[in-house]
């Protein structure tokens, strides 16, 4: 693999930026990687662990001379960051982002960017329940998808260069329209996260009744919800506020279905329940066949450990 961008600037130094930096180094994709984070503490940690080649004290300094600038901040902060870096952007540079919502980010970022700068939004579908500058690892994106959302009239060379970067990082790439992206992600990610957060909150309320039993016996299913519900609170607040309509639509459908299943439980309609559960089991097989998970039994996590 050879250098794709001479200089890459990462704005925000959390899980995604850190993992990108490590993966770019692994494959030698960037000449120099600069970085900036708003928090002085994050910048200090990033310097100590050598997360990027050079940690800058301002966003403008970080983007100076950069061929690619990637905004790795929560969705709600994208607009302000774009306004901040705009004066420092090199003509011909590409600006991209890693936000989990695309329409709102495009509306927040695009107006601030000067002519002659290419804006190519993207969203790598990868993450863990950890966050912060110490949480990154080079393999995070291996085999995962990165959705690229080119704008009308986008410079194809700029799009293809970013595409090559993500492939070099280890991801598979795909192009999609912003609104369609936001709907698909509402189903596969945003609604499931809100549901997991809700169930964990309910258990917490009840936990005061049942002492620590909810935690002690969490391995029976609840544990997987807590993993999802341990994700970064700021990131997720911004996702819901910025993909509001699609998320609420999916949650509306979810509630409808849940009521139908509750009714089946109340009336003792075992056939309805059995048919429903058989259908959902088939979807799991589809995911394994699509290579998006392994078939290893996981509820008993210690197997083979």
Residues 228-257 that bind a second copy (CB under 8 A): 228-231, 233-234, 236-238, 240-241, 244, 247-248, 250-251, 253-255, 257
Residues 170-199 that bind a second copy (CB under 8 A): 174, 180, 183-185, 187-199
Please, which residue, 90 or 137, has the CB nearer to a second copy? 137
* Cα-based angle 48, 53, 59 (whole degrees, multiple of 5): 90
The binder of a second copy chosen from 134, 135, 151, 167 (CB under 8 A): 135
User: Taking CB under 8 A as the rule, does residue 208 contact a second copy?
Assistant: no
Please, which residue, 157 or 273, has the CB nearer to a second copy? 273
Task: Give the residue carrying structure tokens 């120099």.
Answer: 32
Nearest residue to 287 via CA among 182, 178, 175, 145: 145
The binder of a second copy chosen from 2, 152, 156, 297 (CB under 8 A): 297
Are the CB atoms for 181 and 149 separated by under 8 Å?
yes
Please, which residue, 153 or 300, has the CB nearer to a second copy? 300
Nearest residue to 191 via CA among 257, 140, 92, 266: 257
User: How many Cα atoms sit within 13 Å of 281 on the Cβ side?
Assistant: 6
Taking residue 304's Cβ as centre, other Cβ atoms within 10 Å add up to 6
User: Taking CB under 8 A as the rule, does residue 40 contact a second copy?
Assistant: no
The binder of a second copy chosen from 142, 155, 160, 161 (CB under 8 A): 142
Give the number of residues in contact with a second copy, rule: CB under 8 A.
113
Please, which residue, 63 or 81, has the CB nearer to a second copy? 81
The binder of a second copy chosen from 140, 148, 169, 178 (CB under 8 A): 140
Residues 51-90 that bind a second copy (CB under 8 A): 76
Are the CB atoms for 85 and 59 separated by under 8 Å?
yes
With 0-12 / 13-18 / 19 or more C-beta atoms within 10 angstroms meaning exposed / middle / buried, residue 89 is buried
CB of 25 to a second copy, least distance (A): 17
CB of 45 to a second copy, least distance (A): 17
Residues 6+ apart with CB under 8 A from 10: 17, 20, 21, 33, 34, 35, 36, 52, 62, 70, 72
Are the CB atoms for 35 and 17 separated by under 8 Å?
yes
CB of 212 to a second copy, least distance (A): 7
CB of 75 to a second copy, least distance (A): 11
CB of 93 to a second copy, least distance (A): 29
User: Taking CB under 8 A as the rule, does residue 1 contact a second copy?
Assistant: no
Which residues are registered as beta bridge partners of 119? 95
User: Taking CB under 8 A as the rule, does residue 47 contact a second copy?
Assistant: no
CB of 290 to a second copy, least distance (A): 5
Residues 254-283 that bind a second copy (CB under 8 A): 254-255, 257-258, 261-262, 265-266, 268, 270, 273-274, 276-281, 283
d(CA 253, CA 246): 11
Please, which residue, 34 or 42, has the CB nearer to a second copy? 42
Are the CB atoms for 226 and 197 separated by under 8 Å?
no
């Amino acid at each position: 693999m050879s250098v794709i961008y001479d200089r890459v600037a990462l704005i925000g130094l959390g899980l995604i930026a850190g993992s990108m930096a490590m993966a770019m180094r692994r494959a030698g994709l960037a000449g120099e990687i600069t970085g900036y984070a708003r928090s002085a503490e994050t910048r200090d940690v990033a310097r100590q662990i050598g997360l990027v080649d050079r940690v800058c004290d301002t966003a403008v300094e970080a983007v100076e001379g950069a061929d690619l600038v990637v905004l790795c901040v929560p969705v709600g902060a994208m607009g302000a960051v774009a306004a901040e870096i705009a004066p420092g952007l090199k003509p011909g540079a590409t600006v991209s982002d890693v936000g989990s919502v695309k329409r709102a980010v495009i509306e927040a970022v695009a107006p601030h960017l000067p002519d002659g700068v290419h804006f190519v939004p993207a969203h790598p579908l990868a993450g863990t329940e950890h966050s912060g500058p110490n949480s990154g690892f080079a393999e995070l994106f291996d085999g995962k998808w990165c959705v690229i959302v080119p704008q009308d009239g986008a410079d194809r060379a700029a799009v293809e260069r970013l595409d090559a970067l993500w492939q070099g990082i280890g991801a598979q790439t795909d192009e999609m329209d912003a609104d369609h992206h936001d709907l698909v992600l509402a189903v596969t990610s945003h609604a499931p996260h809100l549901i997991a957060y809700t169930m964990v909150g309910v258990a917490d309320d009840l936990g005061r009744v049942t002492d620590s039993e909810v935690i002690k016996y969490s391995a029976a299913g609840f544990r997987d919800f807590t993993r999802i519900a341990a994700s970064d609170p700021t990131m997720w607040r911004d996702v819901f506020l910025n993909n509001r309509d699609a998320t609420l639509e999916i949650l509306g459908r979810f509630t409808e279905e849940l009521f139908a299943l509750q009714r089946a439980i109340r009336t003792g309609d075992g056939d309805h329940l059995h048919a429903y559960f058989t259908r959902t089991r088939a979807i799991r097989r589809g995911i394994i066949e699509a290579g998006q998970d392994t078939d290893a039994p996981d509820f008993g996590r210690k197997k083979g450990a």
